[in-house]
């Protein structure tokens, strides 16, 4: 078996996506393609650092300018942005091109870019009147939310939604999709070609019937569907 990829997670908040990734890799056991070995935040108070410490994962507090050094010194193979709000320097995105992922709580290219994060995204979605939002996982380049899209999963916008209720439903979809994409990239099932095209991902092929009925009762079925799409 080839060596597992060394994964670093960059986070600015509480780290629920970090937890989902750690839990998913642990559940895969010996089949997992990588291990989270480092969690980096821009401030000591980030809740993601507490989650990492409880899991026995090394932590670091670093400015964006220091990221290249922090990641390079630890021989990081794959960099995962999980609620990381700072712009990653171009020299870092270039060095880890095709090996740096981000999750965004909307269907890019809509509702993305500078200043659109967290509740701001969901308020913008509701104000627009669209009936479908969702999750996007993409490779990272030097611009906010503009890297090549790997996978998307739609989430319905309901008549009674607030920014908070929509955010909660989108976050559940993030927790299903993002860890599986991370593992797929780690094992080489998803790659970014020299031509900038993604190979092995999926975008726009998620079955709306499952996406629109995302409940605790059918999360396992949706997880299986995501796995099948990532392997197709």
Catalytic residue list: 104
172 touches 17 (CB < 8 A): no
Phi, psi of 78 (to 5 degrees): -135, 130
The whole-angstrom separation of Cα 192 and Cα 185 is 9
């Amino acid at each position: 078996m080839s060596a597992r990829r060394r994964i670093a997670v960059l986070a600015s908040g509480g780290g629920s996506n970090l937890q989902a990734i750690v839990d998913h890799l642990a559940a895969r056991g010996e089949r997992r393609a990588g291990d989270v070995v480092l969690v980096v935040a821009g401030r000591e108070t980030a809740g993601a650092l507490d989650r990492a410490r409880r899991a026995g994962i090394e932590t670091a507090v670093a400015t964006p300018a220091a990221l290249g050094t922090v990641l390079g010194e630890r021989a990081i193979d794959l960099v995962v942005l999980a609620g990381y709000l700072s712009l990653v320097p171009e020299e870092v995105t270039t060095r880890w091109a095709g090996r740096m992922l981000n999750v965004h709580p909307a269907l890019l290219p809509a509702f993305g870019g500078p200043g659109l994060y967290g509740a701001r995204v969901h308020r913008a979605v509701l104000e627009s009147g669209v009936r479908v939002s969702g999750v996007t996982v993409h490779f990272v380049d030097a611009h906010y939310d503009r890297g090549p899209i790997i996978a998307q999963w739609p989430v319905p916008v309901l008549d009674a939604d607030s920014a908070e209720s929509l955010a909660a439903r989108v976050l559940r979809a993030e927790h299903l999709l993002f860890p599986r994409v991370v593992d797929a990239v780690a094992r080489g099932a998803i790659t970014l070609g020299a031509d900038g095209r993604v190979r092995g991902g999926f975008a726009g092929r998620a079955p709306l019937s499952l996406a629109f009925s995302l409940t605790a009762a059918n999360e396992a079925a949706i997880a299986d569907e995501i796995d099948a799409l990532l392997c197709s």
